[in-house]
Amino acid sequence: MPDTAWHIIEVVVMLLLPLLMAGGLTVVERRLLGQLQDRYGPNRVGVMGEMQVLADAVKLLGKEDWIPPFADRPVFVAAPAIILMSVLASFAVIPLTSGFAVADLNVGLLFFLAMSSLGVYSVALAGWSSRSKYPLLGGLRAAAQLLGYEVFMGMSLLGVVMMAGSFDLSTIVEGQRGLWYVGPQFVGFVVFFIAGLAETRRTPFDLPEAESELVAGYHAEYSAMKFGIFYVGEYLGITLVSALMTVLFFGGWLGPILPGWTWFLLKTSILILVVIVVRAALPRVRYDQLMSFGWKVMLPLTLINLLVTAAVILAT
Amino acid sequence: MTVLFYIAGAVAVIATGMVITRRKAIHALLYLVVSFLALALVFYVLGAPFVAALEVIVYAGAIMVLFLFALMLIDAGRAEEARERDWMRPRAWIVPSVLSAALLAEVVYLLARGGVPGRTAAGAAAAGGAAGVGGAAGEAAAQVKAVGIALFGPYLLGVELASILLLAGLVAAHHLTVDLDSEDGETAGAADSGAPGRTRQKGGRP
């Protein structure tokens, strides 16, 4: 059955590719941040420090996997698994190239939103089950942050959905032949980019971990590979958000000469680098600043964007 | 597909049973999330992917996170667990069990008789939806459109009533959380939501 074999290949690629990219990103981010801050970053293992991933993995696997005696054991163990599952499940609907997606779901975009909203349980529960004050504060912030930005994250994507007339990601990419949606939906793109940073808990919005005030926030009590999973989960989240931005706003696999998947990977990689550079450029915002920014600036902005998009679509 | 339906249904029933028997509130909440996810799968298998996605986004993703947030703030400790254990004594189960058994008997009776009277139209619609699962990609868009038209057509009154209810809740929450007498505007809770309330109060003060 060639169909089944092809499908298995799709599943394996869509599982391994994000994991490899996330693993590689741990080094890329540290090296790039080092360059931006006028220092070297890790450059000892391998030729340019690229084998640092393996060194880190060996170190994390070799450490004692300690569960605090005061922690809520089942939830403490389940929390890291939730983030990995929810993010990896989202990759199932991302089309790598024309016809190459694990699940060509006709509500693909909604599936991504559903999985991303489940991801926050991981952080909030990690904070709660640690049963100590800094993780709890980190978990509380994560839950509040999700409620704050999830509304405008979903609505920022509706402009694209209106223009493509579908929640299907492949159809959305096909609709961008001629003009990428980043042009007409520029406001939607900016809002989704900011929401994506909040979703992956990246630096202007990394309040749940905030190492300078909450030690390490929600994963302060985690050690060894459980900590490693949170770490990889964060990079998987960045990869996912970048891949989704590529699909929704930058024409996915569309591009001249080169095969589709190279264009997809190229665009995704550039967006990932932008996310990393943002971390080097911006300080962390305060908790109430994030909240008022989300509800008072971003939400009205997306509503106006929706209104204008709908008016333009009706007029043409 | 039928097997998937029954597995998801069984998971939903078991998870819901666990919700009412757990002593720690957060564990109960997690089982409730599992129950919602199983329910979403039931919707999907029945041919309603849009409703399934909304079930996860709205119930499992947003409302339950709000519950989790509240529970983390309250942080019910050992005393709460003891009280919960107190409530879970076998005697407390009698009346709810009898009531549930009556409902179960009714469902079994209806199923044994060969279905609910007057379900033909709904059944036909569900069957039509189920046929569309493997169908064209346009099916979901059509479904979304149909839901939208239904919400703002025949069910407009319900939508408006719900929004009035939510507005009332919003006003009440604002009234409860904003300390109107506080002169100090820098308290953490008031800083993000309190600006309009404070200005109004200051303006109205004699």
- Whether A250 maps to a domain, the answer reads yes
The DSSP-derived string for chain A is: -HHHHHHHHHHHHHHHHHHHHHHHHHHHHHHHHHHHTTS--S-SSSSSSTTHHHHHHHHHHHS-----TTS-HHHHHHHHHHHHHHHHHHGGG--SBTTB-S---TTHHHHHHHHHHHHHHHHHHHHHHTTSHHHHHHHHHHHHHHHHHHHHHHHHHHHHHHHHT-S-HHHHHHTTSSS-TTTTTHHHHHHHHHHHHHHTT-GGG-TTT-HHHHTTGGGTT--HHHHHHHHHHHHHHHHHHHHHHHHHHS-TT--SSS-HHHHHHHHHHHHHHHHHHHHHH-PPPPHHHHHHHIIIIIHHHHHHHHHHHHHHHHH-
Query: What residues of A are in contact with residue B65 (Cβ under 8 Å)?
Result: 117, 120-121, 124, 143, 146-147
Q: What is the mean pLDDT of residues B58-65?
A: 84
Residue A23 near residue A232, CB atoms below 8 Å: yes
The values of phi and psi at residue A63, to 5°, are -75, 160
- Establish if A96 belongs to a structural domain: yes
The C-alpha atoms of residue A21 and residue A18 are separated, in whole angstroms, by 5
Per the domain annotation, does A13 fall within a domain? Answer: no
For residue range A75-133, list pLDDT tens digits in order: 888 888 888 888 888 888 888 877 777 777 777 888 888 888 888 888 888 888 877 77
With an 8 Å Cβ cutoff, are B139 and A105 in contact? no
Query: What pLDDT does residue B52 have?
Result: 83
Q: Could you tell me the pLDDT band of residue B114, with boundaries at 50, 70 and 90? A: low
Arithmetic mean of pLDDT over chain A: 82
- Report pLDDT digits (tens) over A194-208: 888 888 877 777 777
**What's the number of CA atoms in the CB half-sphere (13 Å) around residue B30?**
20
What are the domain boundaries of chain B? 155-206
Contact indicator for A122, A80 with CB cutoff of 8 Å: yes
Asked if pLDDT for residue A222 goes beyond 90, the answer is no
Q: In this structure, what token pair is assigned to residue A96?
A: 């790598």
CB A135 within 8 A of CB A126: yes
Q: Hey, is the C-beta of A70 within 8 angstroms of any chain B C-beta? A: no
The answer to whether residues A302 and A156 touch, using CB atoms and an 8 Å cutoff, is yes
Q: Specify if A18 maps to a domain.
A: no
pLDDT tens-digit readout, A72-81: 778 888 888 8
Note whether B170 contacts A: Cβ–Cβ < 8 A. Answer: no
Residue A229 lies in a domain: yes
Residue B94 or A269, more confident? A269
Q: Is residue A8 part of a domain?
A: no
**B residues 80-119 closer than 8 Å to A (CB):** none
Is A172 contained in some domain?
A: yes
Q: Which residues does chain A have within 8 Å of residue B26's beta carbon, measured at their own beta carbons?
A: 72, 75, 125, 128
| B144, amino acid identity | V
Task: Give the Cα separation of B132 and B145 in Å (integer).
Answer: 15
pLDDT in the model for residue B117: 55
* Number of domains comprising chain A: 1
User: Which residues form the domain of A148?
Assistant: 67-315
- The Cα-based distances of B33 to A199, A235, B49, B58 in angstroms read 20, 26, 18, 11
- Angstrom distance (rounded) from CA B58 to CA A76: 25
